[in-house]
Amino acid sequence: MKLNLLTYNILYNRAFPQLPPILKQYQPDIVCLQEIDTKEENLKELEKLGYKLADYANCFFDFGKVWGVATYYNQEKFEFISSRPIPLINGVYEVFKIITRLFRNKGLRRTILKTDFQIKSINKNITIYNLHLSAVGLNNLRLKQLNMIDFDDFDQKGSIIITGDFNFPIERKKLEKIMNKYQLEEATNKLYYTLKFPSNPAKHSFGFIYRFFSRFIRKFWSDEAKLDYIFYRGLKNLSTKRVNVNYSDHFPIISQFEI
């Protein structure tokens, strides 16, 4: 059986209206979105295209709205079993935002959304981890967040995919060390970048931190970065590609697996 998975940071929902043609062309069976507006009416929009919302988790408050991660699935191929959010530790920047906004974040945290499905045709389970790690902070913080997954509790017989926005552009060996320890392979290893900073972020209503970092990185490093990953176990990766559309600063990533 073949399985297509799409992961996409949709940049504060900006790319959400452009999802229909992408979904129609690539027909993913699992859709993992980050930075999605988690209002009920917005989450239901994708269900009009034939995708069922498995679950969502609120992650942070910005621009007067709550943003999070959401996982959708093809009901013809999968049966939803269970889902739970794994709240992550906050970094200094998240704590600062909570305080300066007079605690309007209401205890929101970056989140890993763990969802279990059963593949109907072969009666086998698969677990999807949809994550969005801290955007501002050191990699040590992101490694601590990633380690909040209970790797030792992995189902040895089931298939696993860990995907999303890792915000991990450098020091990949530390990330690879964790994944290799638990026999996870990378489907995105041939992608050299998954994000492209806008040439003039001042034209967009991004926050000050984003504008500062994008200008700094473009000047002293590159306008491209690899932040989005797909790791897997118990499957065979047939192909992975970056979909070159400019609806978000991130690109959609589509992977095909065989079970």
Q: What is the distance between the alpha carbons of residues 83 and 174, in angstroms, rounded to a whole number?
A: 28
Give the sheet arrangement for strand 185-186, strand by strand: 78-87, 111-119, 124-132, 159-165, 228-233, 185-186
pLDDT at 102: 47
Tell me the domains of the chain and their CATH numbers: 2-258 (3.60.10.10)
**Intervals of the chain under pLDDT 50:** 102, 202-203, 216, 218-220
pLDDT score for 109: 76
Lookup result for tokens 């995919």: 161
The whole-model pTM stands at 0.90
Residue in this structure with the two tokens 């994000």, named with its chain if needed: 195
Predicted pLDDT at 80: 98
Report the 10 Å Cβ neighbour count for 105: 20
Residue in the structure block whose two tokens are 């049966």: 79
pLDDT value of residue 220: 44
- Token pair of 157, please? 């017989």
Q: In sequence order, what are the residues at sequence separation of 6 or more whose Cβ sits closer than 8 angstroms to the Cβ of residue 17?
A: none
- pLDDT of 199 reads 61
Structure tokens at 238: 């047939």
pLDDT score recorded for residue 168:
87
For 202, phi and psi rounded to 5 degrees?
-65, -25
Among 219, 210, 206, 110, smallest CA distance to 166 is for: 110
Q: Within the chain, where are the H helices? A: 19-26, 40-43, 92-100, 139-146, 172-181, 208-220
Q: How many CB atoms lie within 10 A of CB 49?
A: 12
